[in-house]
Structures are given as C-alpha cells and as structure tokens.
Amino acid sequence: MALSQQRQEKTQQNLFLENELTPHYAVANEVMELFAPSNSLVATEAKMAVETDVLIDNFLNAVNTNSSIEFSSLIETFADSQVPTNPADFDSYLEYLASNVINHSIHTSSPRFIGHMTSALPCFVRPLAKLMTAMNQNVVKIETAKAFSPYERQALAMIHRLIYNFSDEFYSEHVQNSQSTLGILVSGGTAANIIALWCARNKSLGAKNSFPGVEKAGLTAALDYYGYQGAVIIGSELMHFSFEKAADLLGIGTHSLIKIPTNRNNQVDLVALRQAVADCQSKNLHIIAIAGVAGTTDSGNIDSLSDIADIAEAANVHFHVDAAWGGPLIFSEQHRQKLAGIERADSVTIDGHKQLYLPMGIGMVFMREPHLASAIEKNASYTMRKGSFDLGKRALEGSRPGMALFLHAGLHLIGLKGYEFLIDAGIEKTQYMADCINAMPEFELLSEPDINLLLYRYIPQSLREVAVKKQLAESENKQINIFNERLQKSQRQAGRTFISRTTKRINCLDREISLTALRAVIANPLTTKDDIDAVLHDQIKIALDLEISDC
C-alpha cells in the first residue's frame, strides 16, 4: 500500500475515533476536517486555494487605489462582537471577505498609489507565504525551528556584510556562532529601533563591581550608581515616532528624547547636535545613544552620518542609524555614498518590508559588535538555555514566524544587482517627478529629493503670481494649507490615485510656519512616468473642481 494512502486511511480512522470519544461535539467532524493533512481531503484545500487565488488576482489587477465607501459607513459593518456559534463554510466566508474586506482594502500595489512606503511585491512572495505558513516554524528556538535558525542568521549576515564589510575571517567566525549576534529579525523598524536602544542602554549602564547593571537593578538604581542626573537619547527632530515608544519603554520618558532642529535639507543641524551633547555632559545627563536618520519618513532626507559618527565617537556614545527606509541604498553603487558613515554605527535599523520589497512584518536591527546583544539576553529553563542556538534569547519578541524565508529568497531571487536596479529606478523616477513639478505652474516643489520621497504643494490660481515671487504672507500660506488638505482628502476619496500629506516647517520672514505638503513616495517598481503624469493631472483636475465650487 502506498504510504500516502496508508496515511490517509489512518487519518480518517482517527477522525472518526476522536469523534466517537466526543459525541456531544456536533461540530467535531467538521473541525477535524480543517486539520486534515494535505494528502487527504486534498480536494477541499485545493478548492479553497483556487477560490482564494481568484480574489488575489482581482485584487492585484484593480486599477483604482481605493473604494469610495465613506469610512464611517464601513465601520458599521464591523460592529458585531459575538463569536459565531458554529463553523461557517469556506465559500460563504470568502464571499463575506470579498464584499466587506477585500473590496474596501487599499490597492497598495497600484502604480498610482504613490503616497506611502508600501507597494507591489514580487510574485514569488505569494507562493512562499503559503510555504511559510504550511511549515509553521517558530523561530524562537531550535526545537521548533531547526534549519530556519541558521538560515535566518545567514540572511542577516549577508546584509550585515553590505553595511559593515568586515573581513572573511570575521564572517566565518560569527555568522553561525551562537555567542554572536550580527542582526535580529523583528516585525518592523519600530521593534528594531527599540532593540537597538535597549542594547545601548543596558551596555552603557551595565554591571560593574557590586552593581548588577540596569537590566537587573532598573534605571533609577543605575543612574544613582553611575552618578548621573538622568538619561537621554539625542537625534533629529525628524526621528520616527518609534523613538518616542523606545524612550517611554526604556524608562527615560519621552521628555528625555532630545530633538535637534534640522537644516533646510531636513538634516540634523550638526552645530546644534554638538551643543546638545555638551549641554547633557555639563548637566551630568547620561547619553544612551545618538541617532542618525537615513531616510526620514517624511521626506527621505539622510543625515550626515559621518559627522554624527564623529560626534558620537568623541563623546563615547552609542551611535544608532535608523535606516528603516533608506538602508537599501547600500545595494546601489551610484547612491550608497549617501549613507557614508553608516559603517561606523553601533547599530542599524533596516526594514525589509519597505525598500527590499518583502511582505509586511520584516524589520531588522544589525550590530557592529557581535556581542552587543548579550546585553539584553534572557534565559528560560524549559528552553533558551545559556549557550543554546535559540534566537529568542536575544530578542524582544518571543514566538515569531519564519519571515526569514522572504528575506533569504529576496536576496537570492532579486540579488545585489536586482536591488540596485530597483533603488536606482525609484530615485530616477522621483527626479522626473520633481522636474515635472518644477515645470508646472500649478505646483511648488518644497524640497529637492535626496532619494525617492518628495514634498510639494498645489498653489491655487489666484495666489500663483505672489507665490512665484516668494512673497506669500502667512495668511496666504494658511489658505494654501487648507486648500492642499482638501485636495489630498478629495483625491483619496475619489480613489483613482493617491498621494499622502504631511507638514513641513519653514522660516517665513523670521517666523517659523508650517506648510501642508503633498508627499510622494516613488517606490513601486510598477509606477511609470505615465503614472506620475496621471497622478499630477488627477490632482490638477480635482483642484480645479474645488476652485470652481468655491467661486
């Protein structure tokens, strides 16, 4: 008898046996069928897969970015809070999904959805997602993820090498050494930033003589022991809001996140940064870390990382680079010099689900010094034993999926050259968009793009002449702000194209004012120059309608 047939018969027997033992569960059979191995009851799963694939196909091929339903009516369809009593059948659930959820989901892969850091994904991730969930490895420990643990370490080491480029000997010593941590795979840039700063805090306020370290004694005792008045983290005012979460969680409070003003190119002001470091030192405040941003979330600008590295080195402070967005520039010959100095960072955050074109849920933090993460190591007796290979012992999260599959696959199926092409093409298209905006009287470019984000705004007809002469009064700027907010909301509601919105602070006659900016993120490989034209023309059309209705 063939093995699969044997197994199938055994499963069916089991199903009925189990059910005889629990006859009062009317649903037992139905539920057990859901757990049938894929070689029995194949037809059910195959049918589910075919039906789901149809929905995926429709979703991915949709042209509009958004459905036009008002959010307030959408939430009404999700008001019920009772768990359904009996199992529903898959077909009717899929119908429910299609009409209530998928129908009103955002087409992030649309080439005209160019306002956020989320875009189309390469096709291989969809079958691999199925493989990953089918295997259901838990990378927290070796006992539930044997091959996945070294596999993940290898993928992380590859990116570590692109950032730091240490010797062959360094990598052969550390890639698969359980004492070393070159990087940690997490759910996103937020968790990555938190871990980096957590390591920095624990390392800098560690055990010494009779003092057991901040990890065991807590922040108050640590500051007391080391004789500090408080602890801070310093970085640009454009730091991502995950730093606020980190400051809160690390016990220093968000008021101890020192935000340094930025220059016209949205880069941290180095004079002010040096001054802040000196101020903290003179006030006897412990600086846990100085953070540089490589690609601000708002406008994509990159801090002068080498200069920040100098400042951090002189102060003997941990240097963290948040390259969640801009990190993948390391793949580009042409653009990687914009990250110069990143190789001096003690820790670096990169998001795989942004410019590595991988599914949501892939953040990474890299450590220059392979033993830095020992500062956060925790052990447990049932597993995570000291000296074990378990990845969960030096991590924020516990159970987590084998997302490394996507990362490792991306590095192989797209490769260094493939990623270089994607990065270069995005930046080139962004320059094209900036040129278009500069050539169109309807728009004003608010800052030259460093990489593939740009900020601009629409100028209503009546104010164009004054705007060109740079003579807008504060009240006129306010009027333009209100108009751009309405424009962005109407565009989102119409759902043909999408651009996001942010604010940019500028100096206007010696006063700081904030401008409402339209924000384009050109990161979708499917976006063409025609799509960029279409987005801009859609905005002009919507703006004209608004202007006419105002008259």
Ligand X SMILES: *Cc1c(COP(=O)(O)O)cnc(C)c1O
Which positions touch ligand X (CB under 6 A)? Answer: 117, 188-190, 193, 240, 242, 293, 295, 297, 322, 324-325, 351, 363
> Which residue, 195 or 367, is less far from ligand X as judged by CB?
195
Task: Annotate 384-425 with three-state secondary structure.
Answer: CCCCCCCHHHHCCCCCCCCCHHHHHHHHHHCHHHHHHHHHHH
Sign of the alpha-carbon torsion through 352, 353, 355, 356: positive
Nearest approach, Cβ of 189 to ligand X (angstroms)? Answer: 2
**292, 345 in Cβ contact below 8 A?**
yes
> Which residue, 217 or 360, is less far from ligand X as judged by CB?
360
> Which residue, 198 or 325, is less far from ligand X as judged by CB?
325
Nearest approach, Cβ of 258 to ligand X (angstroms)? Answer: 17
DSSP H or E run through 125? helix 125-135
> Which residue, 110 or 242, is less far from ligand X as judged by CB?
242
Residue 220: how many CB atoms within 10 A of its CB? 10
Nearest approach, Cβ of 293 to ligand X (angstroms)? Answer: 6
Nearest approach, Cβ of 117 to ligand X (angstroms)? Answer: 6
Nearest approach, Cβ of 362 to ligand X (angstroms)? Answer: 8
Nearest approach, Cβ of 457 to ligand X (angstroms)? Answer: 22
| Angle, CA of 202, 205 and 206, to the nearest 5° | 70
> Which residue, 256 or 266, is less far from ligand X as judged by CB?
266
Nearest approach, Cβ of 224 to ligand X (angstroms)? Answer: 32
**114, 522 in Cβ contact below 8 A?**
yes
With b for 16 or more beta-carbon neighbours within 10 A and e for fewer, the 466-495 pattern comes to: ebeeeebeeebbeebbebbebbbeebbebb
Alpha-carbon gap, residue 511 to 505, rounded angstroms: 10
C-alpha of 449 from chain center:
20
What are the beta bridge partners of residue 447?
455
Nearest approach, Cβ of 190 to ligand X (angstroms)? Answer: 3
* Residue 519 dihedral angles phi and psi, to the nearest 5°: -125, 120
**518, 455 in Cβ contact below 8 A?**
yes
Radius of gyration of the chain (CA): 27
Closest CB to ligand X belongs to which residue?
189
Nearest approach, Cβ of 328 to ligand X (angstroms)? Answer: 12
> Which residue, 323 or 542, is less far from ligand X as judged by CB?
323
> Which residue, 116 or 274, is less far from ligand X as judged by CB?
116
Alpha-carbon gap, residue 495 to 67, rounded angstroms: 6
With b for 16 or more beta-carbon neighbours within 10 A and e for fewer, the 226-238 pattern comes to: bebeebbbbbbbb
> Which residue, 361 or 525, is less far from ligand X as judged by CB?
361
> Which residue, 32 or 324, is less far from ligand X as judged by CB?
324
4's CB contacts (< 8 A; 6+ apart) are 39
Alpha-carbon gap, residue 446 to 319, rounded angstroms: 30
Nearest approach, Cβ of 353 to ligand X (angstroms)? Answer: 6
Alpha-carbon gap, residue 285 to 317, rounded angstroms: 12
What is the strand order of the sheet 443-447 is part of?
443-447, 453-458, 511-521, 500-508
**365, 327 in Cβ contact below 8 A?**
no
- The token pair that represents 400 in the structure block: 């987590």
User: Amino acid letter at 37?
Assistant: P
Alpha-carbon gap, residue 488 to 495, rounded angstroms: 11
> Which residue, 364 or 535, is less far from ligand X as judged by CB?
364
> Which residue, 295 or 341, is less far from ligand X as judged by CB?
295
Nearest approach, Cβ of 7 to ligand X (angstroms)? Answer: 41
> Which residue, 183 or 495, is less far from ligand X as judged by CB?
183
Nearest approach, Cβ of 187 to ligand X (angstroms)? Answer: 7
User: Amino acid letter at 1?
Assistant: M
- The token pair that represents 69 in the structure block: 């339903």
> Which residue, 230 or 359, is less far from ligand X as judged by CB?
359
> Which residue, 240 or 501, is less far from ligand X as judged by CB?
240
Residue 337: how many CB atoms within 10 A of its CB? 10
Q: How far from 146 is each of 137, 141, 143, 378, 399, CA to CA, in Å?
A: 9, 8, 6, 20, 14
Nearest approach, Cβ of 241 to ligand X (angstroms)? Answer: 8
Nearest approach, Cβ of 299 to ligand X (angstroms)? Answer: 11
